[in-house]
Chains A and B, each alone.
Chain A
Amino acid sequence: MAQIFHPSANTLARLSLIGAALIALGAVGVSYMVIQSPYQTDVHVVKAQPVPFSHEHHVNGLGIDCRYCHSSVEDSSFAGMPPTYTCMSCHSQIWTDSPMLAPVRESLALGKPIEWTRIHDVPDYAYFNHSVHLKKGVGCFSCHGRVDMMPLAWKEESMNMGWCLECHRNPQRHLRPRDEVFNLDWSVEANQDEVRAFVQREADAETYAFLTEDDYVSQEELGQLLAAMYEVPTMGHDTPLTNCAVCHR
């Protein structure tokens, strides 16, 4: 009886076993990398805007406060996008003929808002609220990075649920005094003197002595103090920040 298969079929069969395992592992690995990559998350991806607005120039160069444009950030879930009038409060006086600003003038003339390209789009079933984060001492920097160094805005963090939970599980790692939430340049290391002054002012003498024992107040130590001061429900609380209903209703 003639053989159905060539002897090489044995090798092929063995190779296909290894191959199948490798393909399966590879498929899992590749999809894992894709979902973490900027291709999926848009992190550090600069998007074209109708007007090439530079945060770097306006914030770092001119020193305009975040709230000048994002005016509802302290009172609302939505930080707020500025109406064209806000732009025009300066640009009716300066750069009035700049071709770059033509869409702004057109918007004002037609009474039609500028359609910015959205950078951060949180799903509708996640009820993110800007105001509560600021009130509890989470600074703009923690989620948006150094906006004052972005010529065109990009997304600094993935905004994945896992990333949210990282902070919701350990909020003390990201808390700062309320006065510093809009300060993009603030850190415990760089502002150690002010941090120590803050602790001395806000905490009782015993706590102050304890936290400054090693002559350094770490983010963890400051965060614990702030969490207690601002009533941030850390892990172990009855309804910690990881409770589903904190973000999903």
Chain B
Amino acid sequence: MALETNDRGRGAPAPEPVLGPGHDYTTVTDKIGSMVLTRGFRKEWLIGFALAFGLVNLFLVSVTWLLFNGTGVWGLQVPVMWGFAIINFVWWIGIGHAGTLISAILLLLRQEWRTSINRFAEAMTLFAVACAGMYPILHLGRPWVFYWLMPYPNTMGLWPQFRSPLVFDVFAVSTYATVSLLFWYIGLIPDLATMRDRAKNRIAKVLYGIGSMGWRGSARHWSRYQMAYLLLAGLSTPLVVSVHSIVSFDFSVGIVPGWHTTIFPPYFVAGAVFAGFAMVLTLAIPMRHLYKLHDFITDKHLDNMAKVMLTTGLIVAYGYLMEDFIAWYGENEYEHFMMLENRPFGPYRWFYWGLILCNVIAPQFLWFRPFRRNVYLLWIISMFVNVGMWLERFVIIVVSLSRDFVPAAWEHYTATFWDWSLYLGTIGVFLSLMFLFIRILPAISITEMKELVHEQHHHAGRQGDGQGHGDHGESHS
């Protein structure tokens, strides 16, 4: 391992390694495998899981209460009929996007730093989509007939309204969930085989064995695996853009002032990636600390994610600016009122200014390297973004709906206890699933980390050949 000598011959600074020094195949497998295959539980894990599981129970109580009484237990009232349920739906589905971006687009772009974070970012995507998917269904009022959303030959002689973005949404989200699940699972197969071979416990062996679908690591297996993985990456790539574009249609196709703007799709997609990376950082920083994964999730990883967050944050800020500009320039009185009076100075002004603080001002600190390298500051900024993106959806949905065209129809919206409890409940579901995932499955891809080790050895052997980033990429395949 002579990594530090890379590129010295050209006088260029060596690219910062994405893997700590001194690792070989065995240490990678040992380190990642030990997170799962150790008996007993860590105290931190137990406390975290217990807290999250407490929230799961709150979730179950909230859902039961909702099913028992109907959506009237929420703060919904005319004209605000899309309250927390839709805010949280969009929030969760946005969070999922980082996982797909990391696993699909960064794979196709051959960004090596994705390797150590893609597995748990994908898991995060799945769990976030699961949380997101629950909201529109619970919001239906009669969730037990949710299958009416799907087009099937039914006794009512009806099809869904195909011109409605709400129907596009059903397809977008279910496709997204399916492809994400397949992608995540295909990636897991070789690792499950490793777990199967290393597990001591008979039950664990059988379960990992079933999960790995008879993987033996033959050349044919690898060839098919890589092909399938690449194809799924290709399939996932458009989904990064399409899903949140369609979610944005739910609003922009409506004529409500504050919704009816063409900038929504790109700015929603950027916002989704922004929110997703914030959530990845929120989870990665404590996990890295807890399991001492500093060699795998290096400061360089955090730095890169912070940069993606800064970039997408700027796109989002541009979106806010354009909304205001067009409202002023377009001279539509309703839009003008919504953007330039109601949002900044209306009854919900603190939500709006909180949004500006969290989503526009807070990320600006990421211009500076010390903020990107300090895990505490970075974590705090990512929490600001998590809150900010939630506020953004609140401002779009509630602030727009509560004061639309006719002042006589205006009504103030206040969330009830059950709104908050369901929201906290889904956070509990999400975190519980994350905790279980870290404990049961390899949270970092062993296979891909070994590939990384292989490449670094390979490169170290060819030192002085000029190791640009592109070169790294070519040897990847």
Contacts and interface: CB of A to CB of B under 8 A. Distances in A.
Nearest to A2: B205
B409 interface: no
Interface residues of B, number: 12
Interface stretch (B153-161, B354-362, B410-418, B429-437): B153-161
B214 A162 contact: no
Given A4-B206, A4-B209, A161 B157 contact: yes
Contacts of A164: 157
A13 B155 contact: no
* A-side interface size class: 10 to 19
B157 A165 contact: yes
A35 B156 CA distance: 11
Nearest to A5: B209
Contacts of A239: none
B157 A163 contact: yes
A43 B175 CA distance: 39
Interface in B450-470: none
Contacts of B213: 13
A9 B214 contact: yes
B336 interface: no
Contacts of A13: 213-214
A72 interface: no
A77 interface: no
| Interface residues of chain B: helix, strand, loop or mixed (majority) | loop
B119 interface: no
Contacts of A35: 155
Contact of B155 (A1, A5, A9, A160): A160
Contacts of A161: 155-158
A84 interface: no
A162 B156 CA distance: 4
Contacts of B393: none
A36 B155 contact: yes
Given A10-B214, A13-B213, A13-B214, A4 B156 contact: no
Contacts of B155: 35-36, 158, 160-163
Interface in A159-186: 160-166
Nearest to A164: B157
Interface string B192-226: 00001100000001100100011000000000000
A151 B156 CA distance: 30
Contacts of B156: 160-162, 165
A4 B196 contact: yes
Residue among B154, B155, B205 facing the most chain A CB atoms (10 A cut-off): B155
Contacts of B157: 160-166
Given A9-B214, A13-B214, A4 B205 contact: yes
A164 B156 CA distance: 8
Residue among A9, A10, A158 facing the most chain B CB atoms (10 A cut-off): A9
Nearest to B156: A161
A166 B214 CA distance: 52
Contacts of B197: 1
A201 B306 CA distance: 85
Interface string A1-25: 1001100011001000000000000
A165 B197 CA distance: 60
> What 5 A-B pairs come out closest when comparing CB atoms?
A162-B157, A161-B156, A160-B155, A165-B157, A4-B209
Interface of B: 154-158, 196-197, 205-206, 209, 213-214
Given A163-B155, A165-B156, 11 more contacts: A1-B197, A5-B209, A10-B214, A158-B155, A161-B157, A161-B158, A162-B154, A162-B156, A162-B157, A165-B158, A166-B157
Interface of A: 1, 4-5, 9-10, 13, 35-36, 158, 160-166
13 contacts: A1-B197, A4-B196, A5-B206, A5-B214, A9-B214, A13-B214, A160-B155, A160-B156, A161-B156, A162-B154, A162-B157, A163-B157, A164-B157
